[in-house]
Chain A
Amino acid sequence: MNHHESFQHMIDESLAGHISAEREQSLREHLDTCAPCQEYLSASNRVIAGLGGFSFEVDPTLNARVFASLRRPAQRFQAAQPDRRRWVLIGLAAAVLTMGGSFVDLQFGRLIASVFDIQRTHVQQGLLAFWIVPSLFVLLLFPLLPLLSKVGTHREERIL
């Protein structure tokens, strides 16, 4: 690469916005005194100016067509929003129920056993079977619920 080619490469870098401050400074100093590099820069600037000289026509009905094509999908999209909120609420409720069941078992298991005159293990088994395990199951299944719901929705769309 000769002396001018090296500075002309710096002109390209400068136009692309890919040059360091020192190289830019060195380029400016060189340009003050170098006619071939000035011409190179001038031709490059005309390319860039030429690129700005195009004005493409846009169909005046295009925006209206885009708006029309967006309306229904946007409504569907918005209708799907509460679903997401509902799944989050279900997940939260399942987490609270799981923790609540464990709390009741730990804090009130003995009291319940004495009130109903049954063994403590029976209370624990009852709480596990009818409270803790079902809510834990919903909680573990929670990440899959929206996915299952989506599969159902797609199936519904295909039928329609």
Chain B
Amino acid sequence: MESDTQQIALGLRQGDVVVLETLVEQYQYRLVRYLICLLGRRDGVDDLVQETWLRVLERGSSYDGQSRFEPWLFRVARNIALDAMRKRPMFSLDSNDGDGVRPAPASDKPSPFTLAARTEDADRLARSLQTLEPVYREVLVLRFQEDLSLQEISVVVGAPVSTVASRIYQGLATLRPQFEGETA
């Protein structure tokens, strides 16, 4: 009996619309969340999501079904987002110098994180997340939200495992001070 990932790979090779629609329904929210966390904004994300699924259809034959589908999907989405940023540069995903923080955009509009915060801790993190460098925000969300292993994250971001690990440490170090000196 074929595993789920092999069935996905077969469906993608055949351009099977039913398989694609099932994948869209299953992964849409996680894809939207990943792209928002990667870009730090909400506008334009829906277009990138559409483009990502089109790319999944076009390049689906390169998914071999040997590993989980999520890392492959996020890798595709990341490439689409990078292409979009090259056309309309806002910030670089490759910049990771300094303390991992960049200036907050000058805008009265609440950040997507402020709007999406549903708990007190999330509310406290919202502003710091907005100013955190995308490379750190990205690995934090992939590790602690998407539950990807370091190896899988390394595939998504195209960086060695050691780099991914140090980005996670740096991201946690930037956000942690808000909760230090308190009992949980």
Contact = CB atoms under 8 A, between A and B. Distances in A.
B180 interface: yes
Contacts of B112: 56
Contacts of B36: 56
Contacts of B115: 57
Given A16-B143, A65-B50, A50 B169 contact: no
Interface string B90-113: 000000000000000000000011
B157 interface: no
A83 interface: no
Given A66-B53, A74-B17, A58 B32 contact: yes
A46 B140 contact: no
Given A56-B116, A58-B28, A77-B15, A46 B184 contact: yes
Q: How large is the interface on A (under 10, 10 to 19, 20 to 34, 35 or more residues)?
A: 35 or more
Interface residues of B, number: 57
Given A17-B150, A43-B180, A66-B53, A48 B144 contact: yes
What 5 pairs between A and B have smallest CB-CB spacing? Answer: A53-B122, A53-B119, A50-B121, A77-B15, A43-B179
A71 to B, nearest CB: 7
A24 to B, nearest CB: 15
Interface of B: 14-15, 17, 20-21, 24-25, 28-29, 32-33, 36, 42, 46, 49-50, 53-54, 57-58, 112-113, 115-126, 140-141, 143-145, 149-150, 161, 165, 168-169, 172-173, 175-184
B15 A46 contact: no
B29 A54 contact: no
Contacts of B17: 70-71, 74
A148 to B, nearest CB: 20
Contact of A15 (B116, B117, B172, B181): B172
A67 B50 CA distance: 9
Given A65-B50, A69-B54, A16 B169 contact: yes
Contacts of A62: 28, 32, 46, 49
B172 A50 contact: no
Given A17-B149, A56-B36, A77-B15, A50 B122 contact: yes
